[in-house]
Chain A
């Protein structure tokens, strides 16, 4: 189906660059961040609904996360990292790290974020050298002054590879969508073509969520998905599960 969203060429660049390839590299699920180990509570919801989750329910689940949490927190962090770098404001990076870490209500989600963040940073630092912001954040993680949360590591990595702020935001949300859909496939909720249909369906939501949140100031960062937070907390306690959360 060829819908209107596929004809939007406003921001299409005609000159390929290394940054374009870096964009592909970081958005590839092959990039090692461990995100395939999380379902964001979807696994519990699946069992709670007697394994009868529908395509529409997965779609609502992803939209709720994007609009109510990933947009106003994770995407906001990404935007603020870029702004801090522009101002050469190193200390606000630590403030962002701290604020984001303590906004994650679920223990497993907090630790998964720092584990992925630290490993992401390490991987990028293996081929990007002498980036003062990557080095600053790594040193502070090592000394215990920063936690190493994923969206911050991720934004620093994107910046170091000359990926623009807006594209970094798009990629972050796209990665989240793909990780939830990947979990849905492994749980047998969706089939492979449905997965791609759902990714396609999410494109306008990703786009509008990034536009809405990428320039959001740090002091207006928010999240509100209490039901999904509670689901994740229950999921944490499941005896038999495939995913971390």
Chain B
């Protein structure tokens, strides 16, 4: 059982919406600003996302030790694992907290799920919900707890909007309405466009602009 709670971000969204890619773009930005990050990736049927992030962020780029990317199987119940019964995720987070108190934040990626996904506040302090434009520009107004209640809504793959006839201005208008002016960001996780804004929101709203622990200690 951990002594210190490290700020935790939950990232949820449908299968293929770009959760893993967002994390792969986000971590280098945060690391460049001095923030040390751990990742827990819930996968529905494979360890592919965790393995890919470990290779990309830890092995190849050296941004974190390899043991700071952990994959969890969810028994085919991705939203149960982060909402109704987050026991296993909480255990893994706490193990990470006690082994790595130097971390500034821990990212918990949900397995791909539907628009009702939310994170238990016992598990995550800040919730990012990500959708992509390929579902059509009706997506935000269809609502769902993830879209409506997340701390930050990320709308990904804006580069393909014109190819599939999705109007970003409609998505923006509807996002404002259904979220009561809570923040949203348009991104292209493939190129990194817009991801810096996501990082800034996290530092502002989750870390309250606190400097990285390494800086604060020195």
Interface residues of A (CB under 8 A from B): 30, 32-34, 36-39, 112, 114-116, 118-120, 122-123, 138, 141-142, 183, 186-187, 239-244
**Cβ-closest chain A residue relative to B120:** A32
Any A CB within 8 A of the CB of B46:
yes
Residues of A within 8 A of B91 (CB): 34, 114-116, 118-119
Alpha-carbon distance A34/B87, docked complex (angstroms): 5
B74 touches A242 (CB 8 A): yes
A119-B90, A142-B1 known; A242 vs B84 contact (CB < 8 Å): no
A33-B87, A142-B1 known; A239 vs B73 contact (CB < 8 Å): no
Q: Which 4 A-B pairs have the closest CB atoms?
A: A119-B87, A115-B91, A34-B87, A34-B88
Alpha-carbon distance A186/B81, docked complex (angstroms): 15
A32-B85, A36-B75, A242-B76 known; A118 vs B1 contact (CB < 8 Å): yes
The binding surface of chain A is classed by DSSP as helix
B87 touches A242 (CB 8 A): no
- In the assembled complex, 28 residue pairs joining A and B whose CB atoms fall closer than 8 Å, in A order, are A30-B84, A32-B85, A32-B87, A34-B85, A37-B73, A37-B75, A37-B77, A37-B81, A38-B75, A112-B88, A115-B91, A115-B92, A119-B91, A120-B87, A122-B1, A141-B1, A186-B75, A186-B76, A187-B76, A239-B46, A240-B46, A241-B47, A241-B73, A242-B44, A243-B73, A243-B75, A244-B73, A244-B75
Alpha-carbon distance A116/B26, docked complex (angstroms): 31
Any A CB within 8 A of the CB of B193:
no
Residues of B within 8 A of A183 (CB): 75
Any A CB within 8 A of the CB of B177:
no
A203 CB → nearest B CB, Å: 24
**Cβ-closest chain B residue relative to A39:** B75
Any A CB within 8 A of the CB of B80:
yes
Any A CB within 8 A of the CB of B15:
no
A32 touches B86 (CB 8 A): yes
B69-105 contact mask (Cβ, 8 Å, vs A): 1 or 0: 0001111110011001111101110000000000000
**Cβ-closest chain A residue relative to B91:** A115
Alpha-carbon distance A36/B84, docked complex (angstroms): 12
5 further interface pairs, Cβ-Cβ under 8 Å (given A34-B85, A36-B85, A37-B72): A33-B85, A115-B87, A186-B77, A242-B73, A244-B73
Alpha-carbon distance A53/B75, docked complex (angstroms): 18
B81 CB → nearest A CB, Å: 7
Any A CB within 8 A of the CB of B45:
yes
